[in-house]
């Protein structure tokens, strides 16, 4: 029976989000049932990425969503990481709304201009508002729908994962859909809203056991959570199946959102 279960898990892993086979005990898997993976339909051609200058702040990268969609997806890169790391799965994000990638607020010495995130979450929240206001004004000028400035989706990678967790804890009514990818730490369930949706993702070639365990703990604490994996992804990389895996995760995050 265990061997059959592991075989099924490997099949699911090859299709979309991998079931975490073998690394955890069967009782742990039973506590965190995973929904069946839907078929992900994404645009065959990735949309363009625009760089915009925010007055008094760092540049932002933007992928336009549908003209009628007000949804915003915010991307927080990793420590001294690439603010364009989302490029491989941007077509999946653009199905739901406009993707805005911010840069960290502290310089990384000797990194050629790369940035990292400070602990100033109020500053990060204000920077989010300024970025959304700029992009929204451009959309309105083109006759498109203005962007939502509340009920946001925040996606963070590595250090960015920790920052979006803290933003969701500090501003729970604003950051209501949160994806934490390749985080080094387990999220703390206590300050997180039971009204939010939380997506935890690990790369199969990265440390990820703690993220699956965290998903079990968050679910046990009453949170709505999904765990998924990026096949063949090391730390700092989304892997060859990023578009499909992230598409599945975003499908779940935006379930029942109109």
**Domain coverage including residue 192:** 48-253
For position 221, which CATH number holds?
3.40.50.1820
Q: Has residue 222 been placed in a domain?
A: yes
Q: Has residue 234 been placed in a domain?
A: yes
Above 50 in pLDDT, residue 49? yes
**pLDDT on residue 9:** 35
Mean pLDDT of 72-97: 97
Q: Has residue 213 been placed in a domain?
A: yes
Q: Has residue 18 been placed in a domain?
A: no
| CA end-to-end distance (rounded Å), the chain | 41
Q: Has residue 209 been placed in a domain?
A: yes
| CA 62 to each of CA 50, 53, 84: distance values in angstroms, whole numbers, following the listed order | 5, 11, 10
Q: Has residue 156 been placed in a domain?
A: yes
Q: Is 85:108 a contact under the CB 8 Å cutoff? A: no
**Which tens digit of pLDDT belongs to each residue from 183-232?**
999 999 999 999 999 999 999 999 999 999 999 999 999 999 999 999 99
**Which tens digit of pLDDT belongs to each residue from 89-114?**
999 999 999 999 999 999 999 988 99
| Pure H helices in the chain | 2-15, 26-31, 90-94, 121-141, 159-170, 209-220, 242-253
Q: Has residue 3 been placed in a domain?
A: no
* CA proximity to 233, closest of 182, 186, 162, 158: 182
Q: Has residue 35 been placed in a domain?
A: no
When divided into structural domains, the chain yields a total of 1
Q: What is the pTM of this model?
A: 0.84
């Amino acid at each position: 029976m265990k061997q059959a279960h592991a075989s099924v898990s490997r099949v699911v892993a090859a299709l979309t989000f991998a079931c975490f086979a073998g690394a955890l005990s069967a009782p742990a898997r039973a506590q965190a049932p995973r929904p069946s993976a839907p078929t992900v339909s994404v645009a065959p051609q990735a949309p363009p990425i625009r760089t915009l200058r925010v007055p008094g702040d760092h540049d932002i990268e933007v992928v336009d969503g549908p003209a009628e969609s007000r949804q915003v997806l915010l991307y927080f890169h990793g420590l001294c990481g690439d603010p364009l790391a989302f490029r491989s799965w941007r077509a999946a994000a653009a199905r739901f709304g406009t993707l805005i990638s911010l840069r960290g607020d502290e310089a990384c010495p000797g990194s050629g201009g790369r940035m990292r995130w400070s602990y100033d979450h109020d500053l990060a929240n204000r920077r989010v508002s300024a970025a959304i206001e700029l992009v929204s004004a451009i959309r309105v000028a083109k006759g498109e729908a203005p962007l939502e400035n509340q009920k946001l989706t925040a996606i963070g990678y590595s250090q960015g994962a920790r920052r979006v967790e803290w933003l969701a804890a500090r501003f729970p009514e604003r950051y209501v859909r949160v994806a934490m990818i390749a985080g080094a730490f387990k999220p703390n369930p206590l300050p997180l809203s039971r009204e939010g949706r939380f997506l935890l993702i690990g790369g199969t070639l990265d440390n990820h056991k703690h993220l699956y365990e965290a998903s079990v703990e968050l679910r046990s604490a009453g949170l709505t959570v999904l765990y998924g994996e990026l096949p063949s992804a090391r730390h700092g990389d989304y892997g060859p199946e990023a578009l499909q895996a992230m598409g599945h995760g975003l499908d779940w995050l935006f379930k029942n959102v109109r």
